[in-house]
Chains A and B, each alone.
Chain A
Amino acid sequence: MDQVRNEVEQVFRNVFGDDELVLRDAMTADDVEGWDSLTHINLIIALEKRFGIKFATAEISRMKEPGQNVGHLIASVAAKRR
């Protein structure tokens, strides 16, 4: 899980162009500078490529809904990798 978290963090750093970005579970899109609907797509593409996974159409929208945070995202990546 820590391995996944580190790799997801690396993907976030690439996508948002911020080498110092540190992920916390409670973070939402509002806490990350530049996380809008455009970069959300870039994030999905980068995660899918890095982990060799695929998100379903509905999942892609769910990630940005209220109540969802980075912790859920990391858990869903880890689950897909299994």
Chain B
Amino acid sequence: MKPSETSPRPLADLALDCLGKNGPDWEAAFCAATAAMRAALARGEDQAVADALRRIALPTLDYTSTQALIRLRKKLRGRVPVRQKVRIAVLGSFTTTQLVALLDLFLFAAGIEAEFHEGDYGVFRQEVLDPGSGLYAFKPQVLFLATTRRDLGCGANLALDGNGEAAAIESELRAWAGLWDAVQRNAGCQIIQNNFVAPASRAAANHELALPGSLGRIVAAMNRAFAAAAPTFVTIHDADHLAASWGRWRWDDPRFFHHAKLPCDPEFLVDYAHSVASLVMAQLGLAKKCLVLDLDNTLWGGVIGDDGLDGIRLGQGTPEGEAFVDFQHYAKSLRQRGILLAVCSKNNEATALEVFEKHTEMVLRRADISCFVANWEDKATNLRLIAKTLNIGVDSLVFADDNPAERLIVRRLAPEVAVPELSDDVTSYVRTLEQHRYFQVLSLGAEDLKRTEFYRADAQRRDEQASAGDLDSFLRSLDMTAHVGPITPMSLERSAQLIQRSNQFNLTTRRKSAAELSALLADDAWISRTVSLADRFGDNGLISVLLAHVDGDALEIDTWLMSCRVLRRGVEQFLLNHLVGEAQKRGLRWLRGVYVPTQKNQLVRDHYAGLGFASAGPAGAAGETTWELTLGESWTPRPNFIKETNHGPSAQ
């Protein structure tokens, strides 16, 4: 190594240098970046170090490299602005120190400052069952139960027959559900619960799954029982899938269990922590929402503008063409579970569209793409346009492009966009995307599976709007009907999901968990309302949640949020009218609302003013404003074009 005589390169460049390299090249780039970060930290350049750290803290790092980043991250604690804070309790039956440090690293990389409570080794049951324990004093928002198959009460027992095994599984499940309920009663926080990693070794050899009472069969049955029985406030973390995808023999390293009570080969702790972090991020509403795809050499081989419809490689016949078909199938499967797809390509629009319309081997069709942008503008600008068109944040986008130059430009000019490092081989695209766990969710509801349909019907409505002349006649022509009512067990999951995900039309961004929600539903001082909206294009499902509580002779609105799909449809006016009715029934004389500004909810800054509320004093320290509405004789309902119906939504 020779000392550099030129001026040092910016940290951001050194961090970007680490991407797309392997072996000794990567090692050199990583060493240079971390050394420069340490030096910058000593000079007090906290923000630049944090930005660089966010670029290079990836789930693909080896364990030893992450330790260097963890040291840097610890020094940055509380020293840079973050998007969100969260309190996480981790109770485990293994040494969680290393896992927690890694979890903290990945959360920090996503802009989250986490505060942790770690239980003592192996006493998780006592901590959960004792209402006076340190766990509850900590008041966690998330509890991670970091358990292993060693915590199974029903171990292998080859004396069991099928019935005995079923009874053992049932009583085991009851014991775990008892722990979950205790947490729900005492803390009301979201639980992330590990399932059980099946062992690599098998007493019954090939016939393990056929032999009642074998460990492999017990573990498999417990994992199925967890998946089926977990209530909304429990998210099962699929540790078994992690182990299986890395390989069970490689996953287990008993040396480190016996020495340090580590649950697996320490190298895999990195991915393990990333997997748990992705669930926490989903809970905080930070999961990505849209996959933006380049076209040439990303969705097909070759360049459509040069090679033409017959020349591009796509479809059966060539190995590469088949691989592109597989990648399109993967993208389509994401769309089917509610992830939006968009296209961002340097092409003439007509040329690009022709492939979607005419190429017989295309799996993705024009209707699968929620926003299609093909032009010659720079891609950073186009990505911002896509986010705006879809009404989602730029930081909700993932951009997949095979071209390293395009990726670099986007990373520099639109750093909020996640840009995975695709290799030049299409067969690696799926794994690369999966590794980042961009599109994690806490649970999959029926709504997710329908969501992309909603967005498409939405585009149709927008066309209608263009032709309907004035807004009132457009709204009237929609024949909107809405169902409004309290949150029910049926709508709890979807309500909690909206609370976690909504960023823009969200007055206070208070992320209540499903557990907190159910606690408040049982409280008479609280009113909860959801609105489901249908129109002649289809059912929009449950699109708005409101929580309010009685405070003296006022009804104070704690949470008011709405899906941006139904902006400017009159749902706010409709819900206000309903709420005023509820307040009057209870003899209340005021409605009070608060607006707490975030980076994303500018949209609703004037929400209360627009509904006729009066400002109740100057803004608070965080810019929050309070608004009041007097419910006197003079109050008249706000006009809208939505008819109330008694028919609840079908399944949600």
Q: How far is the CA of A57 from the CA of B259 in the complex (A)?
A: 8
**Set A14, A55, A57: member contacting B64, Cβ < 8 A:** A14
**Considering the chains assembled together, what is the distance between the CA atoms of A60 and B266 in angstroms?**
15
In this complex, the member of B68, B260, B262 whose beta carbon has the largest number of chain A beta carbons within 10 angstroms is: B260
Give Cα A38 to B267, complex, Å. 15
Q: Is the CB of B67 within 8 A of A60?
A: no
Instruction: Assess whether B64 is in contact with A46, with CB atoms less than 8 Å apart.
Output: yes
Query: Does residue A41 face the partner (Cβ distance < 8 Å to B)?
Result: yes
State whether the Cβ of B255 lies closer than 8 Å to any Cβ in chain A: yes
Q: How far is the CB of A48 from chain B (nearest CB, A)?
A: 10
Asked if A61 is at the interface of the complex by the 8 Å CB criterion, the answer is yes
Judged by a CB distance under 8 angstroms, whether A15 is at the interface is: yes
A60 touches B64 (CB 8 A): no
Cα A15 to Cα B67 with chains together (Å) = 7
Contact of B260 among A19, A41, A46 (CB under 8 A): A41
* Complex contact B68–A17 (CB within 8 A): yes
Look across to chain B and name the residue whose beta carbon is closest to the beta carbon of A55.
B255
Distance in Å from the Cβ of B21 to the closest Cβ of chain A? 18
- Dominant secondary structure of chain A at its interface with chain B: helix
Flag if B267 contacts A45 (CB, 8 Å): yes
Query: Which bracket fits the contact residues of B?
Result: 10 to 19
Q: Mark A13-51, 1 if CB is under 8 A from B, else 0.
A: 011010100000000000000000110011001100100
The answer to the question of B333 belonging to the interface, with a C-beta cut-off of 8 Å to chain A, is no
In the bound assembly, the distance between CA atoms of A56 and B255 in angstroms comes to 8
Residue of B at shortest CB range from A37? Answer: B260
Q: Mark B68-90, 1 if CB is under 8 A from A, else 0.
A: 10010000000000000000000
Given known A38-B97, A45-B267, contact A14–B259 (CB-CB < 8 A): no
Q: In the complex, which of the residues B98, B259, B262 contacts A60, with contact meaning CB atoms closer than 8 Å?
A: B259
A42–B98 Cα distance when bound, in Å, is 10
Complex interface: chain B residues within 8 A of A37 (CB): 260
Q: Is B63 an interface residue (CB 8 A)?
A: yes
Identify the closest chain A residue to B72 (Cβ).
A17
Count, chain A residues at interface, CB 8 A: 16
When distances are taken between beta carbons in the complex, the residues of chain A under 8 Å from B97 are 38
Residues of A within 8 A of B62 (CB): 49
B256 within 8 A of A: yes
On whether A42 and B67 interact (CB within 8 A), knowing A49-B62, A57-B255, A60-B255, the answer reads yes
What residue in chain B is nearest A46 (Cβ atoms)? B64
Which residues of B233-263 have CB atoms within 8 Å of chain A's CB atoms? 254-256, 258-260, 262
Do residues A17 and B259 form an inter-chain contact, with CB atoms below 8 A? no
Distance from A73 Cβ to chain B, minimum over Cβ atoms (Å): 16
* B258 contacts across to A, CB distance below 8 A: 57
B95 nearest in chain A by CB position: A38
Q: Write the nearest CB–CB distance from B94 to chain A, whole angstroms.
A: 13
Contacts A/B (CB < 8 Å), 10 sampled:
A14-B67, A17-B71, A42-B63, A46-B64, A55-B255, A57-B255, A57-B258, A57-B259, A60-B259, A61-B259
- Using a CB–CB cutoff of 8 Å, the interface residues on chain B facing chain A are 35, 62-64, 67-68, 71, 97-98, 254-256, 258-260, 262, 266-267
Extra A-B contacts (16), CB below 8 Å, given A17-B68, A38-B98: A15-B67, A19-B35, A41-B98, A41-B256, A41-B259, A41-B260, A41-B262, A41-B266, A45-B266, A45-B267, A46-B64, A49-B63, A56-B255, A57-B254, A60-B255, A61-B259
